A and B are shown apart, each in its own frame.
Chain A
């Protein structure tokens, strides 16, 4: 199966201008190779720098992964699921895996199907929380846009749900306008967020309208 590719634009922070990128409706071997050969070493160098500076482990990024073997096996498993990726300048900039078998929890939508984001991660060089200059902005948003559009394509009216990493709560609540349903005891108290059809309309249309 060939991936369907949409042209999107990210913000190249260093140059202060847009750069063309691909939003692919697949996670392919090339993305997993990038994850292993580019993302992991980039995170490793962050670890070395934190250790060198004597930063307490408690203050390291919350999504820091120690168990590389387990993590690698899990990420490789993404090939078995429906996924999306953002590719720019020949490198994978973000990955997302989705699940179409979950139902909405928000009272007004309860029991209706939605697109559940199982996993969403952006490349280390696109993360400001690691204390380095961000290369491209907009990668995470592009993946969330993909989830919302897929939800519409599937007849789910744009409903999406996800469990946020703690440092991303504000993004989903304030920047994306999602509804915060609070900590979920079944997901290590990660907060659960949903986007309703009305919220998706606002999220996808935005201020500058659209052009086909």
Chain B
């Protein structure tokens, strides 16, 4: 396809566009904003896996070292970080909560082993997962995401106790 117009023509079109938003199609729009929908269990498990990975990396631990420190099976730890369909054992989550010093109940909810009554928590978990892409080095954004989510985890514990 060839279409030729001079610069004046294109700039005239650009000025006509102004600050208009231009977008079309369902793909350009999220079909169901997360803010209005409960996060599916898969999304929470994704957040759980990423949380474990980032906490591990923040501490500079290999998967093997973390398994050793938390007294966990190495394969299970790998599955938590890599396999969305993997459902960890309650003991494993308990051990991880102790190792990372985060509330056990909240981590259970994140792992899909118990249900949170706090809709905002699952949204925060999805947001965290969305912000934390897996890369070799913990980026500044990931560090910020991790810190923010740690705050949410801590706040959530007191809310659930009420």
What is A's interface to B at a CB cutoff of 8 Å? Answer: 4, 6-11, 18, 23, 25, 41, 44, 47-48, 57-58, 60, 62-69, 71, 74-75, 97, 117-122, 127-129, 134, 136-146, 149-150, 153, 162-165, 167-168, 170-171, 175, 187-188, 190, 206-212
Contacts and interface: CB of A to CB of B under 8 A. Distances in A.
B22 A11 contact: no
B126 A188 contact: no
A142 B27 CA distance: 19
Interface residues of B, number: 42
B11 A122 contact: no
Nearest to A153: B1
Given A119-B27, A149-B1, 16 more contacts: A6-B1, A9-B11, A18-B7, A66-B127, A68-B130, A75-B27, A138-B10, A144-B22, A150-B1, A153-B1, A165-B21, A165-B24, A168-B21, A171-B17, A206-B9, A211-B5
Most chain-A Cβ atoms within 10 A of its Cβ — which of B5, B16, B19, B126? B5
- Main SS of the interface on chain A? mixed
25 contacts: A4-B2, A8-B5, A11-B11, A11-B15, A18-B10, A66-B130, A71-B30, A75-B27, A117-B24, A119-B27, A120-B22, A120-B25, A121-B23, A137-B15, A138-B10, A141-B22, A146-B1, A165-B25, A165-B28, A167-B23, A168-B23, A171-B22, A208-B6, A211-B4, A211-B5
